[in-house]
Amino acid sequence: MGRQRVSDFLWVTAAMVGVAAPASAQVPSVGFVFPPGGQLGQKATININGGNLQGATQVLVSGTGIQAQITKNTEAGALPVELTIAPDALPGARELRVVTPRGTSNTGRIWLAAYPDANEVEPNNQLPQAQKLEKLPVVVNGQINGGEDVDCFTFQANAGDAFVFDLASARMASALDGYLGLYDAKGKILQSALEGFDRDPRLIHTFKTAGTYTVQVRDSMYRGGGNFTYRLTMGKIPAVTGMLPMGGKRGDTVTVNLEGVNLGAMKSIPVQIPMNQDSVTVPVTTPDGMASAPVSLTAGNLEEIVEIEPNDKAAQANTVVELPMIINGRIDKAGDVDLFRIKPTTAGNLSFEIMGRRIGSRIDSFLRVLDPTGKEIQANDDAEGKDSRIVFAVAMNTEYLVEVRTMDRRSGGDVFYRLEIDPPAGPDFKLSMTPAELNVGLGGSVAITVTAARLAGYGGPIALRVEGLPAGLTASPAAIPAGAATAMFTLTADPGATPGAMSQIRVVGTATIDGKSVEHAVQPVEVYLPPLAAAEQTQRRPTLLLPATVMPQQAYALDIEPRAISVKKGMPVPIKIKVTRQMAATQAITITAAGQPANVAPALQNVAEKANEATVTLNVAANAPVGTYNVIISGNLANNIQAAPAFTLTITE
């Protein structure tokens, strides 16, 4: 791809929030952090760059083992922070948010590593200008500042040294799509890496001769900007390139066999699988005290086994004696096929499901179930993203072959899978929500949308509750009606609440399924706009921190009367809107409605300039569905979007 110049890019808060979030020029925003992390067991000074950061009261950081202390809070565009990082803090990505009396920011991210830091020094664009690194291993903090920026670092290596170059950029939500190139002293390229595990390139090279070498970092498309940051860990350090199994049964201690470079005598590690988590991430430290990037294992509820090679042909198929079972496997080389022989002792539906991409593998799986002669009974490519799933009725005491292969011929330690064979899961649900930061102005409200993924046919109602709200914030009643995919509710700030009051909250969904109460936490999702993307090309990613914050009074606030309405089909429902304006907020307000079911048509009346009232009529058709729904009226004044408190609309026959 040819080079293209791109001006500096800075994330803007408006690109990161849901459309129903309150807009305010005073809400703090995080664009990027530099240096974007620090060393375990040390203090690190970072600068959070963004907008409206002055007067910050605290910085929230996800996980444990790290404390953030603001050292100066007078500048709107930069906030210096000292991190104190515990020696036993878990390496890897952490989220952070800035809290001010005017609200809490979007998420920024940093990367913690085990080795000393060094910041890049410009100019270092050309190989002859390469910045010299005297001590290795090292973690280089860098930025690709413009479309033509390339960062080069030179170092010494001995014959036989195996060096690891691990670039962290995508894993800490940097805009950088990283490229690594390794050169000898004459400028000849020895090896390159464009995309690896987790979309970040990792390059491993064993040097044949001692000498001076250079590693180059750039964006794959020659873009750049302030938020094109990276952390490059490099040196003669351990790296796990493959491991089995990739998980274990909850409560068990699993021996994980490791493959990689510079691991010394360490061939395996014991891992305790937690009872109440879906996964566990553990550090990997060799006997001589050198640290690799941490590894993650998935927790399951079934007994587990590991595939045994060779099993490419039917005669070599691994026999799975007991069912249900989870099989941990890997596509070791190009063309590898894994076959497993099963003989169910009971008839009925069985589910054959690959867990791969969802747990960090690069596998693009293809799954088949065959009869003993090799005749295909059923096959699947993509069921859950790139992961495969087959469900069909098996006969009792009948042999079947289960085959796993890849669609793209990728192979190696990071092309792994977990094949779960068991009866289909019962009805269930998963929940997500937007926005992921909840800033509520005094006397105002913010609208929240919760989305349900209904599993195995569950179609019943899901009640929602909010836990941990700070003083002065209240949540409207909320539930996802039977058969519906979404529900909306609001957080409302009392006019007498304290601006800056903040706490991390939790939204929980509860349903009764087959006579049992089932409860799941709602996953917050951050909506953001990637570099160079059009406005409609927003993307979504999960977040860990979910703060709710009381803001000062905004330019205007909406309220409605009444808050609960019961109406028969075919009847109109008038809703009175009241507006509280700040002195300068005199413009007209565009009114919208959301959350009403099908066949309920709102007749909208905008709030006229300088007016403080309007009426919206919901026309409930004769074929509108019976049930109770949350409806939210929102206003838009010069792109400042505010919501009124949700009201319940109950439709009866």
- Tell me: pLDDT of 44 over 80: yes
* Structure confidence at residue 546 (pLDDT): 97
* Structure confidence at residue 146 (pLDDT): 85
Judge whether 13 and 76 are in contact, CB under 8 Å: no
Q: Enumerate the CATH 2.60.40.10 domain ranges in the chain, comma separated.
A: 555-653
- Tell me: pLDDT of 289 over 80: yes
Chain segment 316-335, per-residue pLDDT in tens: 999 999 999 999 999 999 99
Tokens 């596509």 identify what position? 331
Q: What percent of the chain has pLDDT over 90?
A: 89
User: What's the CATH number for 304-422?
Assistant: 2.60.120.380
- Tell me: pLDDT of 530 over 80: no
Residue 402 has phi, psi (to 5 degrees) of: -115, 125
- Tell me: pLDDT of 531 over 80: no
User: Average pLDDT, stretch 623-636?
Assistant: 94
Banded model confidence at residue 25, pLDDT cuts 50, 70, 90: low
Q: What percent of the chain has pLDDT over 70?
A: 96
Helix, strand, or coil (residue 539): strand
- Tell me: pLDDT of 247 over 50: yes
State the Cα–Cα distance between residues 342 and 521, nearest whole angstrom.
36
* Structure confidence at residue 599 (pLDDT): 95
Classify domain 555-653 at the CATH topology level. Answer: Immunoglobulin-like (2.60.40)
- Tell me: pLDDT of 160 over 60: yes
Between the alpha carbon of residue 60 and those of residues 12, 57, 63, 171, 522, the distances in Å are: 19, 10, 10, 19, 20
Beta-carbon neighbour count of residue 361 at 10 Å? 24
* Structure confidence at residue 2 (pLDDT): 33
Task: Fill in the DSSP letter of residue 387.
Answer: B
- Tell me: pLDDT of 565 over 70: yes
**Type and span of the H or E element at 506:** strand 506-513
* Structure confidence at residue 4 (pLDDT): 32
- Tell me: pLDDT of 315 over 90: yes
- Tell me: pLDDT of 426 over 70: yes
The amino acid occupying position 147 is G
User: Average pLDDT, stretch 538-543?
Assistant: 90
State the Cα–Cα distance between residues 527 and 479, nearest whole angstrom.
23
Residue 565 has phi, psi (to 5 degrees) of: -135, 135
SS3 content of the chain, % helix, strand, coil (to 5): 5, 50, 45
In words, the CATH class of domain 117-235 is mainly beta
Chain segment 167-215, per-residue pLDDT in tens: 999 999 999 999 999 999 999 999 999 985 557 999 999 999 999 999 9
**Averaged pLDDT score across all residues of the chain:** 92
**Burial degree of 343 (CB within 10 A; 0-12, 13-18, 19+):** middle
Q: Enumerate the CATH 2.60.120.380 domain ranges in the chain, comma separated.
A: 117-235, 304-422
* Structure confidence at residue 24 (pLDDT): 55
Helix, strand, or coil (residue 358): helix
* Structure confidence at residue 47 (pLDDT): 97
* Structure confidence at residue 19 (pLDDT): 31
Chain segment 457-498, per-residue pLDDT in tens: 999 999 999 999 999 999 999 999 999 999 999 999 999 999
Judge whether 542 and 523 are in contact, CB under 8 Å: yes
- Tell me: pLDDT of 357 over 60: yes
* Structure confidence at residue 196 (pLDDT): 57
Between the alpha carbon of residue 363 and those of residues 355, 422, 541, the distances in Å are: 9, 22, 21
Chain segment 105-118, per-residue pLDDT in tens: 999 999 999 999 99
- Tell me: pLDDT of 13 over 80: no
Judge whether 526 and 467 are in contact, CB under 8 Å: no
Enter the pTM of the model: 0.90
Judge whether 182 and 205 are in contact, CB under 8 Å: yes
State the Cα–Cα distance between residues 488 and 556, nearest whole angstrom.
21
Task: Fill in the DSSP letter of residue 135.
Answer: S
* Structure confidence at residue 1 (pLDDT): 30
DSSP calls for 150-179: -EEEEEEE-TT-EEEEEEESGGGT-S--EE
Between the alpha carbon of residue 232 and those of residues 93, 113, 123, 138, 217, the distances in Å are: 13, 10, 18, 8, 9
User: Average pLDDT, stretch 26-43?
Assistant: 96
* Structure confidence at residue 538 (pLDDT): 84
* Structure confidence at residue 198 (pLDDT): 56
In terms of phi and psi (left: phi > 0; alpha: psi -120 to 50; beta: otherwise), the region of 155 is beta
